[in-house]
């Protein structure tokens, strides 16, 4: 390491450190953390390590693992939303009574993203029946998530939530009818906020507003915070929204030392409010600004290549063989997507068998579908290679263990009157009792269907021709299962229900979860999700517990509740190939040796999502209120996104990018988006230059 740099990072000062991805910035952050711990003498001095998302905490946790000092208890690794939530909870008595809540002296209930959407649904459903949002074609879940997102944007960007509709409307240039939709959206968020205030519910937007407007100005709070934290290390500041930068800038003078780290070509989460421009203010606040750049020939060439792909007019600084040595394409033309996945699996297998570590390989695509995971996983499994996926919003209902638990909940609550598919009961029955095969399970469900009772028949009620086909052990298991359901009918606290179901039945010897160690963590996920759901109802809202449980089950079934848990196990699985959406990979901040890009013709590599009820740029701080959002803005944004993505991916690739392209994409279309066009142009230009030479 550069000695001067090392000295700067090993002293009590305020530094802004920026540079491209994988230039070692986080490594310096970790070094700084160790330095601060080693220097701490006498009075304890708290260190706040602020990261923009949970997964980015791992390098700092790893660094802490290497330090054997009791001072570790002085370190808090937090995201700002974690800090906000924790502080609003602790300081609630000081702010509840001055913030418009109806019951300020009672404990508030914190909402998760999912429970916010659930409550938004309760507001919006009657509106939809009255004809609101009639011109928008969106699934209910997407409609709810965009409405909640609007409120969050207002809070994290810093404008009144009552101006959301006006801002969106003023920027709109299309049909007038869309403006009516923005008015509907405004009405929905107003009603949602009023509902939260009446019922002591704290969604994310309210937590942020309380923190900024009431806590931050409270002297007791500031004194408390200053006692807690004396040093700051703030990594990936560009991925945070501007309110976080406002807070840190205001807090700046109170820190004894500070290190803010920024990735120059990032801000990948701008659709969630990330604002690199706002983060760059720390450059002027800091005593020292340090720029890190990877100066190897290889890094230079990758930078040049990314820049030349984006800009057709930029003169080529490299030859065709240089491109081929970094960007690989299939040797033969591939027409269909499944064929392409086979080819990718073969290429990966060759690499792994040739000694490449599976965790040095990533497969990325703008969107990762279940069928891609299944097919690629299946192909790789033939060669004993594991595939693991990391997707931001997999739904709870997608997990077979959860399907089993939910089905039992429905069977034990006939009063909910929720319909059940016989095929599903068959497969769950076979899953719950390994002694059963699908044929035996089907015999029972077929009988169940014929009686139209909606419940599993008792063993004694089974026709002889069915019971004759079950051996004693199978009968015994089936009896235990049906008895358990009978005994637990009407247990409405579903956390309790699932816990019993897991412990007393499904994980017992002879049942499906007994030797399935993963089933424990998956059941725990569902229990936690229900606990949060139930907690969001607090103590104030009078609700029938049976109805509440039914609402939860319906929410899981509809896909509203997501399994948004950081799965430590899968992250640590070094023996599996990772498949993940491109944005998730960029957010991981990790370099790999080999990248396989799927669906390269898709516009998903750069286009913003179609969101008729919100807009990430119009609701950002850099947007000039009153300006119109036009097609030129969209084109410019797409180009900027593509540029950021290309630089980000190239910087995170040590050896080779494999452009896995087929004539027909996953959706069966012939797609030729900007990425394909720009890369083809690069190859053509390089070929022409070679021929000219």
Report in angstroms how near the CB of residue 432 gets to another protein at its nearest.
14
Q: Is 79 near another protein (CB under 8 A)?
A: yes
How far is 411 from 632, CA to CA, in rounded Å? 55
How far is 436 from 442, CA to CA, in rounded Å? 10
Among 159, 224, 251, 664, binds another protein (CB under 8 A): 224
Sheet strand arrangement including 288-292: 75-78, 47-51, 231-235, 257-263, 14-19, 288-292
Site string for another protein, 102-141 (x = CB under 8 A): -x-xxx----------------------------------
- Tokens representing 195 are 């509902």
- Tokens representing 652 are 């995170």
Choose one: 59-67, 126-134, 273-281, 667-675; the region binding another protein (CB under 8 A).
59-67
For another protein, the closer of residues 123 and 405 by Cβ is: 405
Opening angle at CA 620, ends 258 and 203, nearest 5: 80
Q: Is 41 near another protein (CB under 8 A)?
A: no
Choose one: 72-80, 285-293, 579-587, 637-645; the region binding another protein (CB under 8 A).
72-80
Q: Kindly provide the residue ranges of all beta strands, DSSP E only, lying in 503-589, ordered along the sequence.
A: 576-581
Choose one: 54-62, 147-155, 173-181, 243-251; the region binding another protein (CB under 8 A).
54-62
Phi and psi dihedrals of 633, rounded to 5? -60, -45
Among 17, 22, 77, 352, binds another protein (CB under 8 A): 77
List C-alpha distances in Å: 422 to 404, 437, 441, 449.
Answer: 13, 15, 10, 7
Q: Over the range 422-444, which residues count as b (16 or more CB within 10 Å of their CB) and which as e?
A: eeebbbbbbbbbebbeeebbbbb
End-to-end CA distance of the chain: 41
For another protein, the closer of residues 133 and 498 by Cβ is: 498
Q: Is 570 near another protein (CB under 8 A)?
A: no
Task: Calculate Rg over the CA atoms of the chain.
Answer: 28
How far is 495 from 523, CA to CA, in rounded Å? 10
Choose one: 90-98, 132-140, 354-362, 448-456; the region binding another protein (CB under 8 A).
90-98
Q: Is 64 near another protein (CB under 8 A)?
A: yes
- Tokens representing 252 are 């700046």
Q: How many other β-carbons are positioned within 10 Å of the β-carbon of residue 511?
A: 23
Among 6, 38, 69, 357, binds another protein (CB under 8 A): 69
Q: Is 225 near another protein (CB under 8 A)?
A: no
Q: Is 198 near another protein (CB under 8 A)?
A: no
Residues 6+ apart with CB under 8 A from 9: 15, 28, 31, 32, 35, 259
- Tokens representing 528 are 């936690």
How far is 666 from 597, CA to CA, in rounded Å? 13
- Tokens representing 353 are 């068998």
List C-alpha distances in Å: 613 to 172, 244, 533, 608, 616.
Answer: 11, 25, 25, 13, 10
Q: Is 508 near another protein (CB under 8 A)?
A: yes
Choose one: 81-89, 118-126, 378-386, 603-611; the region binding another protein (CB under 8 A).
81-89
Among 3, 4, 517, 574, binds another protein (CB under 8 A): 517
Among 1, 98, 194, 220, binds another protein (CB under 8 A): 220
Site string for another protein, 522-551 (x = CB under 8 A): -xx--x-----------x------------
How far is 66 from 34, CA to CA, in rounded Å? 9
Q: Is 507 near another protein (CB under 8 A)?
A: yes
Among 24, 82, 158, 330, binds another protein (CB under 8 A): 82
Among 1, 6, 38, 72, binds another protein (CB under 8 A): 72
Can you give the binding site for another protein, defined by CB under 8 A? Answer: 54, 57, 60-61, 64-66, 68-73, 75-79, 81-83, 85-86, 89-91, 93-94, 103, 105-107, 220, 224, 493, 495-496, 498-500, 502-504, 507-509, 514, 517, 520-521, 523-524, 527, 539, 568-569
């Amino acid at each position: 390491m550069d000695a001067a740099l090392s000295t700067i990072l090993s002293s009590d000062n305020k530094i802004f450190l920026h540079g491209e991805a994988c230039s070692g910035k986080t490594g310096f952050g970790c070094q700084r953390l160790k330095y601060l711990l080693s220097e701490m003498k006498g009075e304890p001095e708290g260190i706040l390590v602020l990261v923009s998302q949970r997964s980015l905490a791992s390098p700092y946790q790893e660094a802490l693992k290497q330090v054997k000092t009791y001072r570790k208890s002085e370190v808090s690794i937090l995201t700002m939303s974690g800090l906000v939530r924790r502080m609003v909870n602790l300081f609630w008595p000081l702010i509840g009574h001055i913030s418009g809540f109806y019951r300020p002296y009672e404990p508030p209930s914190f909402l998760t993203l999912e429970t916010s959407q659930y409550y938004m649904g309760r507001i919006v459903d009657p509106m939809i029946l009255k004809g609101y949002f009639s011109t928008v074609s969106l699934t209910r879940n997407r409609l709810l998530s965009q409405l909640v997102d609007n409120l969050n944007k207002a809070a994290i960007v810093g404008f009144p939530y009552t101006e959301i509709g006006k801002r969106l409307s003023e920027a709109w240039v299309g049909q007038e009818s869309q403006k009516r939709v923005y008015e509907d959206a405004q009405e929905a968020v107003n009603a949602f906020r009023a509902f939260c205030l009446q019922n002591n519910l704290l969604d994310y937007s309210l937590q942020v507003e309380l923190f900024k407007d009431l806590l931050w100005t409270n002297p007791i709070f500031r004194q408390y915070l200053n006692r807690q934290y004396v040093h700051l290390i703030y990594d990936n500041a560009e991925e945070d929204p501007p309110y976080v930068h406002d807070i840190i800038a205001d807090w700046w003078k109170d820190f004894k030392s500070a290190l803010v780290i920024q990735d120059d070509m990032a801000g990948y989460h701008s659709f969630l409010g990330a604002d690199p421009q706002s983060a760059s203010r720390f450059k002027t606040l800091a005593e020292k600004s340090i720029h890190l750049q990877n100066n190897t020939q290889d890094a230079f060439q990758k930078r040049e290549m990314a820049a030349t792909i984006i800009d057709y007019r930029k003169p080529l600084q490299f030859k065709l063989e240089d491109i081929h040595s970094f960007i690989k394409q299939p040797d033969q033309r591939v027409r269909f997507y499944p064929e392409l996945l086979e080819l990718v699996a073969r290429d990966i297998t060759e690499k792994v068998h040739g000694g490449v570590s599976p965790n040095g390989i990533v497969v990325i695509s703008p969107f990762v579908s279940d069928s891609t995971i299944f097919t690629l996983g299946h192909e790789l499994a033939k060669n004993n290679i594991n595939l693991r996926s990391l997707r931001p919003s997999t739904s709870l209902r997608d997990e077979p263990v959860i399907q089993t638990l939910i089905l039992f909940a429905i069977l034990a609550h006939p009063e909910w009157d929720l319909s059940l598919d016989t095929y599903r009961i068959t497969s769950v029955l076979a899953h719950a009792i390994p002694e059963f095969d699908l044929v035996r399970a089907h015999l029972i469900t077929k009988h169940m269907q014929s009686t139209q009772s909606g419940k599993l028949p008792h063993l004694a009620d089974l026709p002889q021709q069915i019971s004759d086909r079950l051996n004693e052990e199978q009968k015994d298991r089936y009896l235990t299962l049906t008895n358990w359901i009978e005994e637990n009918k009407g247990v409405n606290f579903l956390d309790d229900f699932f816990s019993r179901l897991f412990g007393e039945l499904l994980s017992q010897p002879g049942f499906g979860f007994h030797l399935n160690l993963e089933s424990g963590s998956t059941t725990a996920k569902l229990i936690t999700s229900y606990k949060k759901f139930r907690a969001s109802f607090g103590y104030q809202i009078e609700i029938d517990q049976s109805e509440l449980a039914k609402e939860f089950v319906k929410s899981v079934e509809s896909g509203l509740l997501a399994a948004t848990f950081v799965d430590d196990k899968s992250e640590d699985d070094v023996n599996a190939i990772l498949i993940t959406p491109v944005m998730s990979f960029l957010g991981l901040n990790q370099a790999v040796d080999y990248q396989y890009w799927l669906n390269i013709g898709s516009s998903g590599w750069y286009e913003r999502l179609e969101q008729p009820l919100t807009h990430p740029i119009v609701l950002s701080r850099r947007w000039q209120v009153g300006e119109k959002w036009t097609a030129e803005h969209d084109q410019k944004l797409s180009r900027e996104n593509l540029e950021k993505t290309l630089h980000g991916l190239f910087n995170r690739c040590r050896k080779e990018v494999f452009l896995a392209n087929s004539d027909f994409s996953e959706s069966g279309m012939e797609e030729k988006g900007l990425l394909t066009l720009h890369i083809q142009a690069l190859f053509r230009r390089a070929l022409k230059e070679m021929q000219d030479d």
